Structure 1
Amino acid sequence: MCLGWLVVHWNRVCDGCRPWVRRYPEVGVCPRCRHEAHLNTDGLCKPCLMAIRAEDDAEWALGLAEARPRPVQLIVGGMYGDRSADARPLRRPTKTGLKVGQGWWIKLRKQRAAPAGPPVLQEQVCNQLALFTVPRVLTDATVSAIVGRPVAGWEECRRVIGVMAAEHGLSVGWQRAIAEMVRLALAVREAEGALRLPEPMLRDLPSNGDAVRLVLLRAGLLDQAPKPMRFSTTNQPTTTYINAPAPLPPSEARSCRDCDAWMASGKRGSRCNPCRHWRELHPAGRCVRCLRGELPLRDGRCRTCRLYRHLDDSDRAAVRATQLVIDLPHGVPGQAQLIPVAEPAPAKDEDEAVSALHAARGQEALFGMRRDWSPVMARLRRRSYRDLPLTSAARALTEELDRLRRGRQDPAYRKDIRTLTILVYWLGAETLFQERDVHDLALLDPNLGAKRVCQFLAARGLLTEDPELHRDADQVWVKATIGKLPPTVADEVRLWVKVLRGQGRREHEARGYDGIRRYLFALEPVLSTWTRSGLTSLRQITSDHATTAVDDLTGSARRQLAISLRSLFKALRQERVVFRDPTRTLPVGDLKGIPKSVPSDLLATLLDRASTPLGRLVIALTAVHALPGHEIPTLLTCDLNLAHGTLEARRGLLRHTLYIEEFTHTLAAEWLTYRHRRWPASTNPHLLVSQRTALDPDHPPVSMTMLHRHLPKGFTLDGLRQDRILNEALETGDPLKLMRLFGITEKTAMHYVSVAHPEKTSKLPR
């Protein structure tokens, strides 16, 4: 109805419009606003009747033919006690018929007698709330436009001006200047529809805001701010009527007029301190790089472009950009010397010059961007890293790495020295190096290394790590492989991965990404074949599809694919993505297998064929104590107690204690002695270390490949472990003893006993 924004209850019509509808049921188009609404006897809608009386719209009150349509005023929140339905119509009955009051004709003559032109500071309805506050632009033309206009409150303010002039002995000229600003402030008050002028609006006055504030305050026409405000641009106004001035408001953040550096709020002036000092030393002109004029120049360049002279020499681009600079305190007393007074001697060769501008200590990058090292390597390809010019800080950093790597007997230390030298030559020694930059540089040349350089820089707080480089490799592979699938299938496979990670509808132990990768590696060819054949979702897969996928395979490949398919569709059915599991009848095959023993003649010479202390200890842990191969690299030195003859194997939250005999005790002691003599500075907590892991700050365990390399040819860790458990099962036949001795489960122990003594578990009658 009235198009007002307010809260209505149980109805789409507000409380003010409901009685209007009942009283004026006729519906038509209002001639003033051109909206369809309920019209009164004047042919007007409710909002237009209210607007005519509030705005003194005489043309529409009299119903003149030349009256133009008017916009509808926005009403927010409705009106309390809205009795517009009882309002008298504009045309009321008289002796000669329906007529409009004579007051509207008087208002029309006054409105038409007013000079034409845009209205200036029109008086608004009192106590009307404004939706948006826009700063006004008040000039001398505004003062001239309101000359002679009667403004409410002027008489009180004129008396206050006279009293202030008498108290402080102020001149007539001061009174006239203040009177103009006071009248302007009172006109703004009427234009805002306020009883008292808000104090922040005095900022829009052209001048004398502090004096106008005192006048309005004495006259009771000012709505004071919570804290006294200042409108003078000077630090201390020299007036007799302001004894304790309020502090100046802090200036806003802005850019320097010369170098465009962002200055912090609170600073005065249009230029930063370095630019003011630079302007005093050099003549003005047009910069040859940024092409800006009226700037102080040295050798044809302004202060900002002077910093880029070395970068421009190394990369001769047509477009010259300038980095965003934030003007912050220098941190030390005195003038910040950003540009040296004495220029360095020019280099004989372009390659001997500094390649780029080195970042100062503490300089942070606003926007991270991946660096392309190909042009740098092409430039340095014909030069030795020993000939690169380095600063004193950069040379000290490379010498420290040289001493550290050479003392650790690392044959690949020259790669690290070469990599660090290129980094500090190009970027400087006081910057924060990005880990991604180090790895990208090392990828361009096989004679460069990244890992140890990153560890060296991180230990000294000079490296910004890249989280992408520290993600699990299996997780990255799984994510990349799923991303190659169609969107619908990819979402379903991601849900399967989520279930395997223990985040599905049913809680269970999370599986590692290495196991998920093995499953997905077997599933990837099948999923690609299904999607190429036109299938868009795994909901379309039937048992025939699953059977056809495994029919062409044999052996372990068939068993692995069958297990992966059953895991996939079991998870999707659990998450209610598929209604039936198409792989529920898919045969998997025998997963147990029969453990095999190692021939006795080979076991007799096994220890003699192991050439290293590490290999002999691994053989003892596997062939004597049947320790699983994947647990051997995770053994910790602190878990080996030679005094008590025990070794603890950590299995999650559980612990399995090995009681080592004299043979294993001797081999463990020999290994510890060898490790201490070869790597005395090693802090790796793992019991077994190698040349690569002993001095690695990340303390990684040894790899399974390294363990297999130390075994004699023809032997495996799993084969030695199975032979040991099977031999114990042949001797005792007691599954409980196998469980206590080797820490295996009940199912595994019964499996070995059934293989060693099939007559004890046979279902045939005895």
Structure 2
Amino acid sequence: MHPFSCRGCLAWGVYRVHNWHCWSCRWWQNHYPVGECLYCHRTTRIGDSGACRLCLEQARRLKEPDRAVDLVGANRFGQQLYLANLHAARNGKRRDWVAHQRRRAQAPPVQFAPVRWRQLLLFRMPPNHAALKNRAAAVDSEMVRFCDAILRDHAARHGWSRKQINDTARSLKLLQVLQDTPGAKINASDVLELPGLGGTAASTMEILAAADLLIDDRTAAVHRYFTEHAVGLPPEMRDQLGMWFQVMLGGSKNAPRRLPRHPQTAHLHILGMAPIWHMWAARGVQSLAEISREDVVAALPPSGANRCFAEQGLRGLFDILKARKQVFTNPARGLPATHSGSTIPLPLDTELIRAALNSDDPASALAVALVAFHGLTGPQLQELALTDIRDGRLTIDDRTIPLAGPVRTRLAAYLDHRARTWPTTINPHLFINRRTGPRTNRVGRGFPWVKLGVTPQALREDRILQEIHATGGDVRRICDLFGLTVAGAMRYTTGLEHPDLTGRPVDGHAIPHPDSHESS
């Protein structure tokens, strides 16, 4: 592969893999439009000063201390070419950038009011990516300047990197070009299309929300799930199910009052009831008012979790429809509840826990230590704040837990790693990652467990089992240590007398203990 000259600044040493552009000119491609340079009259990318990058670098090279850049005088007799990608960050450039940001902060705030009308489209054409980027580089409007001021202020408070600021600014310009109604508020569904155009969605949506220019038209996953499973049902039955679904998620302030349920609860009820809905529709049922108690009993699955979900869902469904006079009687009333079979918690492999405790990732090692030594749950780790740990003690709800020595060691290592990686973050949560570091929300459920091969629930169960065997089944102590109810703690006592754990004889044959030498 042979080197050649940069198409933007004519610097020598670029390659075809980067489309014959140096690093700086690649950045200029996404931020500045094509035009004619006022000083060398070349047709290339033109910056804010009306100069190309070659003329600008020539003026910076000849700039005298404490004097402004003289673009006319520096380029009067030609330019000095140079090698590509050798412009290191100089202190002067850093001072210029800091001064530029200071002037931005001292400038009067830009006022903007979005338009209230909407331009409707007859049809939508797929965008041309090259033309879209060129138009976005040259776009300038009150809305762009207003969002740019919000972006700089938000980024300074949350400790965003320059790359994240530049990517978000470019994404905002792309949205301006893609707008059907210039100057109107922007739909969240349009922002979600930005990654396919080289933009960023999460940071852009955050800035638009801070500027009060975002219309959240996203559809929740449970709404899509309900719509998919209601397709093909009779219209009257679909209307009745829609009424139930609306009350489930939104609750009811009219008698009989009802609190809104969690979307996951509605999801599980739909999972259990959807096959029953379609089975009744296939039999010719047009309305749920035609369903009798015999139909409900015959339609329930024989056993398993789906039967529990179906029973709970049908009770809630007919309760809501009966309260709103959509059915004459409640066929699910008094239906005996089927209890799902409870599982027996099992211990984990000790080597797996030891490897997770000694993980190279400080966040993984601390999360495993908190669960293994103190039995925290996954949601508790997500919500854990920096202020919850003081003087070697962890405060959760109304419990104060003295931290074990290995936990303190891993906590100190993680806090050092956190301070080095995100020195300017204002996220109050203890655990943060690349996505939540420049924001204030919590980490996802899978962090940092995905790469460990163990779940917090399994690790917590192993910890409770160890405590059960160490105390000889002291249920009261388990409830106090781990915040369990008596019924929840009794689940862990079922394995105390198991012959595989006690080594007692079964059918006259002694079972060796797993830790004994005879077990081999």
Report the TM range for the smaller structure's normalisation.
0.5 to 0.7
Q: Which residue of 2 aligns with 1:709?
A: 450
- In 2, the alpha carbon distance for the partners of 1:745 and 1:703 equals 27
Change (3 A) 1:399 1:554: same
Report the AA paired with residue 410 of structure 2.
Answer: L
**Inter-CA distance 371–731: structure 2 relative to 1 (3 Å threshold):** farther
Residue ranges of structure 2 left out of the alignment (5+ in a row):
1-42, 47-109, 500-520
What residue is the counterpart of 2:458 in the other structure? 719
Q: Specify the alignment match of 1:416 in structure 2.
A: 168
Q: How far did 1:743 drift?
A: 0.9
Q: Distance in 1 between matches of 2:486 and 2:323?
A: 29
Tell me which residue corresponds to 1:439: 190
- Alignment match of 2:414 (pick from 671, 692, 700): 671
Measured against aligned partners, the alpha-carbon deviations of 1:424-452 in whole angstroms (never above 9, x if no partner) come to 45779xx7552217726835934233331
Matches within 5 A, 1:680-699: 680-696=423-439, 699=440
Alignment of 1:214-613 (within 5 A): 362=112, 364-369=114-119, 374-375=124-125, 377-378=127-128, 381-382=130-131, 384-385=133-134, 388-391=137-140, 408-409=160-161, 416-424=168-176, 432-436=183-187, 439=190, 442=193, 445-459=196-210, 461=211, 463-469=212-218, 473-474=221-222, 477-478=225-226, 485-497=233-245, 498=247, 503=252, 505=255, 510-551=260-301, 555-569=304-318, 572=321, 577=327, 579-582=329-332, 584-585=334-335, 588-608=338-358, 610-613=359-362
Q: 1:372 to 1:749 in 2, by over 3 A?
A: farther
In the alignment, residue 343 of structure 2 is paired with which amino acid? G
In 1, Cα distance between the equivalents of 2:191 and 2:412?
43
Of the three residues 371, 382, 402, the one matched with 1:633 is 382
Paired residue type of 2:407: T
User: Helix, strand or coil for the counterpart of 2:413?
Assistant: helix
2:114 & 2:321 partners in 1: Cα distance?
A: 48
Q: Output the CA distance in 2 between the equivalents of 1:465 and 1:523.
A: 36
Partner in structure 2 of residue 616 of structure 1? 365
Residues 578 and 723 of structure 1: is their aligned pair in 2 closer, same or farther, counting only changes over 3 Å?
Answer: farther
Matched-pair identity in %: 23
Q: Distance in 1 between matches of 2:297 and 2:187?
A: 46
Contact 1:573 1:581 in 2 (8 A): no
Letter in 2 for 1:721: R
CA contact (8 A) 1:370 1:437 kept: no
Shift of 1:565: 3.4
Unaligned regions of 5+ residues in structure 1, if any? 1-348, 353-359, 760-766
Amino acid at match of 1:464: L
Q: CA deviation at 1:741?
A: 0.8
Cα–Cα, structure 1 residues 683 and 465, in superposed 2: closer, same or farther, change >3 Å?
same
For residues 389-430 of structure 1, what are the alpha-carbon distances to aligned partners after superposition, in whole Å with 9 as ceiling and x for unaligned?
3449758976996995998458777653442233445779xx
> In the alignment, is the contact (CA less than 8 A) between 2:375 and 2:482 conserved in 1?
yes
User: Using the alignment, how far apart are the partners of 1:560 and 1:414 within structure 2?
Assistant: 48
- Given that 1:374 and 1:444 are in contact with CA atoms closer than 8 Å, whether structure 2 keeps it comes out as no
How far apart are 1:678 and its partner, in Å?
A: 0.6
Determine the C-alpha separation between the residues in 2 that align with 1:441 and 1:370: 20
Describe the shift of the 1:444–1:737 C-alpha distance in structure 2 as closer, same or farther (beyond 3 A). closer
Q: Is the 8 A contact 2:135 2:177 kept in 1?
A: no
Q: Match for 1:538: what amino acid? A: L
CA apart distance, 1:640: 2.1
CA distance in 2, matches of 1:752, 1:683: 40
| Contact 1:730 1:757 (C-alpha < 8 Å) held by counterparts | no
Higher-Rg structure is 1
Find the counterpart in structure 1 of residue 393 from structure 2: 646
Confirm or deny that 1:729 pairs with 2:476.
no
**Contact in 2 for aligned 1:550/1:562 (Cα 8 Å):** yes
C-alpha distance in 2, partners of 1:441/1:757? 55
Report the CA distance shift for 1:485/1:437 in structure 2 as closer, same or farther (over 3 A). Answer: same
Q: CA-to-partner distance for each residue in 1:645-693, whole Å, 9 max, x for gaps?
A: 222334xxxx443332222222222222211211122122222111111
What secondary structure does 2:374 align onto? coil
In structure 2, C-alpha distance between the alignment counterparts of 1:607 and 1:671, rounded to whole Å: 13
CA gap 1:364/1:569 in 2 versus in 1, 3 angstroms: closer
Equivalent residues of 1:648, 1:657 under 8 A apart? yes
**Contact map agreement 1:689 1:701 (CA 8 A) in 2:** yes
Q: 1:600 to 1:454 in 2, by over 3 A?
A: closer
Which residue, 458, 475, 483 being the options, matches 1:743?
483
Distance 1:480 1:387, change over 3 A: closer
Q: Is contact 1:546-1:583 (8 Å) kept?
A: no
Q: 1:731–1:501: structure 2 CA closer, same or farther, 3 Å change rule?
A: farther
**RMSD of aligned residue pairs (Cα, Å):** 4.3
Of the three residues 387, 396, 402, the one matched with 1:659 is 402
Q: 1:388 to 1:628 in 2, by over 3 A?
A: closer
SS, match of residue 525 in structure 1: helix
* 1:351-382 superposed Cα distances (whole Å, 9 cap, x missing partner): x9xxxxxxx9656534234668955823x534
* CA deviations over 1:732-758 (Å, ceiling 9, x no partner): 222221111111112212332344358
Cα distance between partner residues in 1 of 2:331 and 2:477: 41
AA paired with 2:362? P
Would you say 1:700 and 2:441 are equivalent positions?
yes
Rounded to whole Å, the distance in 2 between the matches of 1:656 and 1:507 is 34
Bigger RCO of structures 1 and 2 (CA < 8 A, at least 6 apart): 2
| Alpha-carbon distance in structure 1 between the residues aligned to 2:415 and 2:259 | 36
Q: How far, CA to CA, are the matches of 1:421 and 1:500 in structure 2? A: 37
Superposition TM-score, scaled by structure 1 size = 0.43
- State the distance in 1 between where 2:498 and 2:324 align: 42
AA partner of residue 602 (structure 1): L
Q: TM-score, normalised by structure 2?
A: 0.61
CA offsets 1:492-522 (integer angstroms, 9 cap, x no match): 3345442676537556764212221222233
Per mean C-alpha deviation after superposition, the further-off stretch among 735-744 and 432-441 is 432-441
Deviation (angstroms), 1:554: 6.2
Q: Find the aligned partners of 2:136 and 2:317 in 1 and give their Cα distance.
A: 59
Partners of 2:192 and 2:134 lie apart in 1 by: 14
Q: Once the 2 structures are TM-superposed, how far is the Cα of residue 467 of structure 1 from its aligned partner? A: 4.3
- Secondary structure of the 2:127 match is helix
CA contact (8 A) 1:388 1:425 kept: no
Mapped partners of 1:684, 1:370: distance in 2 = 41
SS at match of 2:479: helix
Number of aligned residue pairs: give it.
384
Could you tell me which amino acid in structure 1 is paired with residue 448 of structure 2? L
Q: Secondary structure of the equivalent of 1:648? A: strand
SS of residue matched to 2:138: coil
Residue 547 and residue 701 in structure 1: after superposition, are their counterparts in 2 closer, same or farther (change >3 A)?
A: same
